[in-house]
Structure 1
Amino acid sequence: MKLSLAIFTFVIMLGCSHSKKQPESSSPPKSETSNDKNRQVKKKTRSEKPAEKPATSSFRKDENDLLEKGNQYAVDGLYREALQAYSKILKKNDTHTLAHRMVGVISVKIGEYRKAIKHLELIIDQRADDFEANYYLAEAYRTQDRYGDAIFRYKVALTQKPNHVLSLKALAWSYYKIRYYRAALRTAHVLYKQEPDDMQVTIILARVLNKVGQPKKAMLRLRKTLLKAPKDQAPYLKSVLGDVYLSIGNREKAEEAYRDALKDQPLLAGALLGLAKLTLQAGERPDIAITYLERATRIKPSLVEAYYYLGQAYLKTKPKVSQKYFQKFNRLAAGDPEFNEQVSEVREFFQKVRKTPSNSELESLDSQL
């Protein structure tokens, strides 16, 4: 019995001794090497991370500092300095949404509209609810005669600020330019209720009313605003009043309105254009009409319609000069629905010119005969 107990005790002790040594030999040497390597890699990675954080943090700090500086420059009207600050951000991070946004907004303000479109289009989907991004992109589109795109962006902007007067003015004018007079009139009425004494609002409404066959209402609005208008605004209202009179064939009243406008504002291109039209319609003294038109285009080179009338004025006396002005008109007015009739007329004129032999060609034919 004692012997059996001793053997049993020995076996138990042997088992315990074996179980303690087993962990040392349970993993093969290869696994130990692999684990060691993994531990080394992990240690190395952990030791590298702190070095990366300061660089990222420093970059973000520089970025934020530049953004803050750029924004302050923009507020102060120092647009060149603001653009320089934003450009530094975009050189390091060309996906920086706010930098693109601000470059776009400022580019509109300084007249670089294509640049504005390039930057604002990059971020507009990310900032769909951003009033300024939509408004300034619409403004840039409008300057490039992209009225459909402009209208869409103005409407998005107005979802953020429904009573924003500048957006409503631009929207009404854009509708007017594409001859969507019904929408233009609806928008102009909304504007007029908000700003009945605003000169630009009155002019937009009067022009639309005149186009939809309501010249009496147009004149009524203009006269009402004229009663309260400051002296420096009156010439613009009188010039539009002249356009309304001219459209209904009241040449005497039209001339009176244009001349009244030019007394207070001699450099009013619209009134000069109106007087030129009256002169050409009378069929007398095209040279006077030319004087008015050339002065108008010097004052306002973008006055597209004036180039058409210069072509008409020079047609009999200087055909080559006439062609030059018709070509310029055709180039500038080609995409503008407002001038569809005149553009068609000018194109027909050029077709006839090409078919008609020149003087030199006729002389050549004479000599051959």
Structure 2
Amino acid sequence: MKYLSILLFFSICLFSCEDKDELEKANQYYNSGDYKKAIQSYNKHLEMKPAHEIAIYNRGRAYEEIGQYDKAVKDFLKVIEINPRNIGAYLSYGKNFYREEDYENAAFQFEKAYKLNTNSTKAATLLARAYHKAGMIDKAMEYYNIAINNDRENAEAFLYRGALKLYLNQSGGCNDIQTAKNIGYEGADDLYDEYCK
């Protein structure tokens, strides 16, 4: 009986270590941009732990990177089912709608993420962008302001708030674009040169 217990203990340790190694391997593949190998490793990990929230989410992001959006969405929805407070899953699910130019549904998902963490500058920025694209100008401006108040280095929010101010003939648009330019946001130089010189 004693030997059986020891054998069982070592078997559990072995499977646990292998499982952890597979997850680490999957994350390394993901970080190096080898998304197909990452997916294979996430799948192996999920055979052992089918409800592992982080592995499912990361696999969804890997599917997204290789353009398999239907599989990505399934993973994001599975994560939300496991943990309805997973901000990343709502943001990723919302980005799918955004990519499809369904800006109202994108905003709906981004708003869920924002409500879970009102300090999330990423959620506020994405929500502002979705409202901006949907033509909901007042809401877009509101959330650009929130994003900037949450993070004074948020170049994306400065750039698009500046562009919106220029469109609305409001003052301060060029100042916002200049700020985005100073922070180093790609494209800010061209926008500044075109509209503010």
SS in 1 for 2:171: helix
Kept in 1, the 8 Å contact 2:158–2:180? The answer is no
SS in 1 for 2:70: helix
**Aligned equivalent of 1:74:** 30
CA contact (8 A) 2:166 2:174 kept: no
Q: 2:51 aligns with which of 96, 117, 134?
A: 96
Displacement of 1:197 in angstroms is 6.2
8 A Cα contact 2:77 2:89, kept in partner: no
Which one-letter code corresponds to 1:192 in the other structure?
A: I
| 1:179 positional shift | 1.5
Q: String of CA shifts for 1:180-222, please: whole Å, max 9, x gaps.
A: 21211100112233455654223311333355xx313254435
* Structure 2 contact 29–37 (Cα < 8 Å) conserved: yes
The 1:96–1:196 alpha-carbon spacing in structure 2 relative to 1, beyond 3 Å, is: closer
Deviations 1:22-54 (A, max 9, x none): xxxxxxxxxxxxxxxxxxxxxxxxxxxx9xx78
Structure 2 stretches lacking a partner, 5+ long: none
Aligned to 1:236: 191
Query: Could you tell me which residue of structure 2 aligns to residue 215 of structure 1?
Result: 169
Determine the C-alpha separation between the residues in 1 that align with 2:82 and 2:185: 46
Aligned 1:328-339 pairs, distance under 5 A: none
Q: Would the alpha carbon gap of residues 107 and 231 (structure 1) be closer, same or farther in structure 2, given more than 3 Å must change?
A: closer
Change in CA separation of 1:166 and 1:59 when aligned onto 2, cut-off 3 Å: same
TM-score (norm. length: structure 2)? 0.72
Q: Which residue of 2 aligns with 1:83?
A: 39
Query: 1:103 Cα deviation (Å)?
Result: 0.8
Deviates more, 1:192-201 or 1:110-119: 192-201
CA spacing shift, 1:224–1:125, aligned 2, 3 Å: same
Aligned partners of 1:104, 1:179: CA distance in 2, in Å?
Answer: 30
Q: Tell me whether 1:131 sits opposite 2:71 in the alignment.
A: no
| 1-structure distance, mates of 2:148, 2:185 | 21
Q: Distance in 1 between matches of 2:68 and 2:106?
A: 16
**Aligned partners of 2:29 and 2:38 also within 8 Å:** yes
Residue 150 (structure 2) pairs with residue 168 (structure 1): no
Percent of residue pairs identical: 19
Structure with more contact order per residue of length (Cα contacts < 8 Å, sep ≥ 6): 2
Range 176-185 or range 92-101, more displaced = 92-101
**Change over 3 Å in CA distance of 1:170–1:185 after alignment to 2:** same
1:148 aligns to 2:111 (yes or no):
no
Larger radius of gyration: 1
Q: Secondary structure at the match of 1:215?
A: coil
Q: Is the 8 A contact 2:121 2:148 kept in 1?
A: no
CA shift for structure 1 position 125: 1.9
Match of 1:189 in 2: 145
Gap change, CA 1:172 and 1:68, over 3 Å in 2? same
- Within 5 Å, give how 1:38-77 maps onto structure 2: 57=12, 61=16, 62-77=18-33
1:124 is paired with a residue whose SS is helix
Looking at structure 2, the residues matched to 219 and 151 of structure 1 have their Cα atoms a distance apart, in angstroms, of 24
CA distance in 1, matches of 2:89, 2:185: 36
Partner of 2:81: helix, strand, or coil? coil
Paired residues in the alignment total 190
Q: Which residue of the other structure, out of 98, 105, 114, is the alignment partner of 1:158? A: 114
Q: Which amino acid aligns with 2:51?
A: H
CA 1:74–1:179 in 2, change beyond 3 Å: closer, same or farther?
Answer: same
Runs of 5+ unmatched residues, structure 1: 1-49, 243-256, 258-369
Does structure 2 conserve the Cα–Cα contact (< 8 Å) formed by 1:147 and 1:174? yes
| Partner secondary structure for residue 27 of structure 2 | helix
- AA partner of residue 74 (structure 2): K
User: TM-score, normalising length from structure 1?
Assistant: 0.42
> Which residue is equivalent to 1:338?
none
C-alpha separation in 2, matches of 1:107 and 1:228: 34
Amino acid across the alignment from 1:125: E
**1:227–1:184 CA distance, 2 compared to 1 (3 A):** closer
- The Cα offsets for residues 118-173 of structure 1, whole Å up to 9 and x where unpaired, read as 22112312121223222222222321223233223322333454333332221101
Which of 157, 161, 179 in structure 2 is aligned with 1:225? Answer: 179
What's the CA shift for 1:65? 3.6
